[in-house]
Copies of this chain bind each other. A is one copy, B any other.
Amino acid sequence: MKKELSNALIYPPVLCPLALTLDVIGGKWKPLIVHLVSQGVNRFSLLEKQLPGISRKMLANQLRELERDELLTREIFAEIPPRVEYSLTETGLSLLAAVMPLYEWGVQHLAHKQPRHTAIQL
C-alpha cells in the first residue's frame, strides 16, 4: 500500500484534509466541548463543571472559536438571571460523528491504560 514518495509533498500545494479538520477542532478542549454539548451539557457553567482544569477564559475562548467556525450556535435568553444555551449546528453534528470513533477508541483502551495528564468526567 506504500505510495511512491518523490521529492514532492504528498499534499501540495493544497492542504492535507486532516490538517483542515485539525484547524477546526484541533486542541485540547474542542472535541470534548462538542461532545459534551451533544450530550446536553449546553450552558457555560455546566461545561465548566464538566471540564475540570479549564479556565473561564479558555472556555470562553474555545466557545467563541467554535461559534465562529459555525460548529455551534449561541442562544441568548434575556432573563434574570441571564441564560445562554449552546447547540450544535449541522456542521457540528457532522464533525461530532467524525469524533466519535476517537471516543470509541478510548473506550477500547480504557481497560489497558490510565490517563497521564487529564482526567475528565463525563
Contact = CB atoms under 8 A, between A and B. Distances in A.
Given A41-B5, A121-B12, A122-B9, A116 B23 contact: yes
B2 A121 contact: no
Contact of A20 (B9, B19, B39, B109): B109
Contacts of A115: 15, 19-20, 23
What number of copies of this chain does the assembly contain?
2
A32 interface: yes
A118 interface: yes
Interface in A9-38: 9-23, 25-28, 31-32, 35-36
8 contacts: A10-B36, A11-B50, A12-B122, A17-B107, A20-B109, A21-B106, A94-B108, A95-B105
Interface of A: 2-3, 5, 9-23, 25-28, 31-32, 35-36, 39-41, 46, 49-50, 52-53, 91, 94-95, 97-110, 113, 115-122
